Amino acid sequence: MLTLYSFGPGANSLKPMLALYEKQLDFKHHMLDPSKFEQHADWFKKINPRAQVPALDHDGKVITESTVICEYLEDAFPDNAHPLRPRDPFAIAQMRVWTKWVDEYFCWCVSTLGWERVIGPMARALSDAEFEEKLKHITIPEQVTKWRNARAGFPKEVLAEEMRKVKLSVARLEQRLSESPWLAGPDYTLADVCNFAIANGMERGFADVVNEAATPNLVGWLKRINERPAAREMFAKVKREDLTPRKAS
Ligand SMILES: N[C@@H](CCC(=O)N[C@@H](CS)C(=O)NCC(=O)O)C(=O)O
Which architecture does CATH list for 89-228?
Up-down Bundle (1.20)
> What is the domain partition of the chain in residue ranges?
2-84, 89-228
Asked if 109 contacts 154 with a C-beta cutoff of 8 angstroms, the reply is: no
183 Cβ neighbours under 8 A, 6+ residues apart: 94, 95, 98, 173, 176, 177, 189, 191, 192, 195
Asked if 71 contacts 191 with a C-beta cutoff of 8 angstroms, the reply is: no
Calculate how far, in angstroms, residue 34's C-alpha sits from the geometric centre of ligand 1.
11
For the whole model, what pTM was predicted?
0.95
Nearest-CA neighbor of 245 among 115, 114, 125?
A: 125
Q: Is the CB of 71 under 6 A from ligand 1?
A: no
Calculate how far, in angstroms, residue 53's C-alpha sits from the geometric centre of ligand 1.
5
Q: At 76, is the secondary structure helix, strand, or coil? A: helix
pLDDT tens, residue by residue, 108-127: 999 999 999 999 999 999 99
Q: Is the CB of 66 under 6 A from ligand 1?
A: yes
Mean pLDDT of all residues belonging to the chain: 95
Calculate how far, in angstroms, residue 4's C-alpha sits from the geometric centre of ligand 1.
14
What's the CA gap between 45 and 188, in Å, rounded?
34
| Fold observed for domain 2-84 | Glutaredoxin (3.40.30)
Q: Return the ligand 1 atom nearest residue 52 CA.
A: 12
pLDDT for res 35: 86
> Residue 81: pLDDT band by 50, 70, 90 thresholds?
confident
State yes or no: pLDDT of 230 exceeds 60. yes
